[in-house]
Each structure stands twice: as C-alpha cells, then as structure tokens.
C-alpha cells in the first residue's frame, strides 16, 4: 500500500506549562498514522537547547521498551511521559517527540516548559504593631503578612500566588492543616518589608478575626504558588485577657 501522509502528533497536556522544580510533571499525547506507527523518539532535554541524547520507544513491539516504560508508557496510540526538572532559572525546558510510521515518514512536536523553583516568601508585617509578650484586652485581633513570589530583584520565574491561609491553635501546624484554614485577603503592595533594603515587592494579606476565649493563642500562616511551592510561618503568639480585675 501507499502511505498518504506523515504521522499526526498531538498533546493532551497544555503546552508552554510552568512546573515545580524536582516534582514529576506528566505529559500526555497521542501519535496516529493510517499506515501504522513504529516508534516514538524522545529527546530528554532540561534546557532550551536540543542537545540531549535521543531515546526510542516502540508502538508495536512494546517488549522492546523494557524498563524505559517507567518514564514513557505507550498504550495504543497514546503516550505518557514524565518530566522531573531541576530549577533552571529563567531558561525554558523542552522535550522533543518524533513519531515514525512504517514507511519512514516522521512528525515532530515540542513540549515547552519553564520551571518555578522559587519558594514564596511570607513574613509578619512589621508595620503592624505587634509584640509576642504583649497582653491584649480584646478578642478582636488582626493578622497581617507580607508575601513575595518573584525574588529579591523581581526576576524569578513565578507561577503566581494562589492561596494565603491561616489557622488558630492547630493541633498540628503542617501544610495540610493550614490548607484547610481561613483565607487572608490581598490588599496593597509595598516595595520593602520595612526591615531590609532592596526592591522586592510584597503583597499585603490580612484579616480581622475574633478569638473564642481568653488565653495564649498561636497563629500559623502559609502560602502556595500555582505549581505547589509552599512556605509557612508561625507560631505568632497572641495573649488575650478580656477579664477585668476584681
């Protein structure tokens, strides 16, 4: 028979993606051809230049794939690849896929990605008067933090802040607990944290809340970016005494 065209390669995963450093990212795609596919070649690249060694997977004789199926799996015309990229700053990463059919025709498709290796910064806003050893005569209090996700000079790849949350007196102060906490509302931005020089831009997140009772309380706050990088602070101690002396 005569093959009328080249294989068709497509991605199910959105291209030009931003991924977290050292975290597996799944890339899903399909390769199809009316005459039948033989192979899929992947260039394993972690920088913008296509200088990496080529690796080949097989559509028909999948036994040839052996242990390599741990990083690419092929089922029918679908393939799944896994990328685990180191933090590569502002350089784009690229995977190139080349499908070949039984007649030797080829098609090429690139998956482009960038790596967000910067963990957001979160700190207590020093402009809000606060002292851990200060007793307060009201259960209504305010928590205010500064959050930055672009580095000291604003030149880090940033996937963007998605959540800033806080919890009061948690049994366990970890990421999963804080994820179930209460949102802090974003406000204005400022170009300093009030204690250091530089042009790091912080967004202010804050809220006012009421403690249920008197006593010594602990606040923890955490922030996430779009690819899952996370940082938390705490405990921030509040001492509440609303009981008048007798």
Beta-carbon contacts of 7 under 8 Å, excluding residues fewer than 6 positions away, are 31, 32, 33, 37, 99, 100, 101, 105, 106, 107
pLDDT score at 34? 86
Percent over 90 (pLDDT), the chain: 48
User: What are the DSSP calls for 169-185, one per residue?
Assistant: S-SS-SHHHHHTSEEPE
Q: Summarize the confidence of residues 136-151 as an average pLDDT.
A: 90
Q: Residue 88: which pLDDT band, with cuts at 50, 70 and 90? A: low
Task: Take residue 204 and report the two structure tokens written for it.
Answer: 């202010």
Residue 158: pLDDT over 70? yes
Q: Are 94 and 113 in contact (CB under 8 A)?
A: yes
pLDDT score for 128:
77
Radius of gyration of the chain (CA): 26
Looking at residue 50, its pLDDT comes to 57
CA-based torsion, 48, 53, 58, 62: positive or negative: negative
Report the pLDDT averaged over residues 191-213.
80
Half-sphere exposure of 220 (CA within 13 A, CB side): 18
Report the C-alpha gap between 228 and 51 in whole angstroms.
29
DSSP tag of 178: H
Tokens of 132: 């851990």
Share of the chain above pLDDT 70, in %: 84
């Amino acid at each position: 028979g005569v093959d009328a065209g080249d294989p068709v390669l497509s991605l199910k995963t959105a291209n030009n993606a931003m991924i977290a450093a050292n975290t597996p990212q799944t890339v899903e795609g399909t390769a199809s051809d009316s005459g039948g596919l033989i192979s899929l070649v992947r260039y394993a690249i972690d920088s913008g230049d296509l200088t990496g060694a080529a690796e080949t997977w097989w559509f028909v004789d999948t036994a040839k794939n052996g242990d390599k199926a741990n990083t690419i799996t092929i089922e029918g015309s679908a393939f799944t690849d896994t990328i685990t990229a180191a933090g590569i700053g502002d350089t784009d990463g690229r995977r190139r896929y080349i499908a070949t059919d039984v007649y030797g025709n080829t098609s090429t498709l690139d998956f482009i990605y960038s790596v967000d290796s910067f963990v957001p910064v979160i700190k207590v806003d020093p402009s809000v008067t606060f002292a851990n050893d200060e007793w307060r005569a009201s259960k209504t209090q305010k928590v205010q933090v500064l959050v930055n996700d672009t580095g000291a000079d604003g030149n880090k790849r940033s996937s963007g802040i998605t959540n800033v949350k806080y919890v009061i007196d948690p049994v366990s102060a970890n990421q999963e607990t804080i994820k179930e906490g209460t949102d802090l509302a974003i406000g204005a931005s400022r170009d300093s944290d009030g204690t250091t020089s530089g042009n790091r831009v912080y967004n202010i997140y804050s809220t006012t809340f009421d403690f249920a009772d008197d006593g010594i309380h602990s606040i923890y706050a955490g922030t996430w970016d779009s690819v899952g990088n996370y940082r938390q602070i705490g405990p921030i101690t509040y001492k509440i005494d609303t009981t008048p002396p007798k």
